[in-house]
Amino acid sequence: MVVVYLEPSVVAQVATESFQLDSTRMVVPPFYSPEAPELRSVILSLYSELRIGSGVQLLVHSLANILAVHLIRHVTCAHRPPPTTETVLPRPKLRTVIEYVMENLERSLTLEQMASVAQLTPYHFARQFKATTRMTPYQYVIERRVERAQQLLRINGELSLAEVAARTGFSDQSQFTSLFKRIVGITPRQFRVSAGIS
């Protein structure tokens, strides 16, 4: 069984900023085994990622916003407005966010931090970032971490896999290995061997 509790402030913020609803007069009832496929999909994605291990704060915040959107739509039958140029993250803001991510890969990046750099709310930032890059902020950060890990594995055979994981922002070696294999197709140890580093 998966139980998801959303902070009321998250739902209120999405309701106000994205649906122009009065959050003080809106009630989202509890859902038990929701039939809506989009709700089940988000919840199962969250459950799947949490099983990998700790260090998924950015993903949790992204999915919380997405789940809030689906819940509000389910309750109000609201539909997403047609896409406009406003849904795209402006290039200067995107460049600033990317620079921030690359300078802080080894830290525990959060959606709020990235949104603050872009001077946007977390919901609008996540939406515009994905519209621009075709990746969620979480996916983007993980891919950049894996790229940096590949660089370290190629050039420094003295670093242990745990040290590589720590230097690239993964919570532990297990999470590092799991996500590295998902993206690259082989484990970090296999990658190091294939690169000729003993």
Q: What is the pLDDT of residues 141-197, one digit of tens each?
A: 999 999 999 999 988 778 999 999 999 999 899 999 999 999 999 999 999 888 776
Closest CA to 168 of 186, 156, 151: 151
Per residue in 22-36, pLDDT (tens digit) is 666 666 565 555 566
Q: How many CB atoms lie within 10 A of CB 198?
A: 6
User: Does one domain contain both 90 and 147?
Assistant: no
Q: Which helix (H) or strand (E) holds 163?
A: helix 161-167
pLDDT value, residue 85: 47
Which residues constitute the domain of residue 155? 141-194
pLDDT at residue 37 in the model: 67
Tell me the average pLDDT across 28-48: 66
Q: What is the CATH number of the domain that holds 147?
A: 1.10.10.60
Q: What is the number of structural domains in the chain?
A: 3
Neighbours of 95 (CB within 10 A): 11
Q: How far is CA 191 from CA 35, 54, 106, 147, 153, in A?
A: 42, 24, 20, 12, 8
pLDDT at 83: 46
> 68 and 4 in one domain?
yes
Q: Are 180 and 191 in contact (CB under 8 A)?
A: yes
Query: What pLDDT does residue 19 have?
Result: 72
- pLDDT at residue 97 in the model: 96
Q: What mean pLDDT value characterizes the chain?
A: 81
Residues 67 and 112 in one domain: no
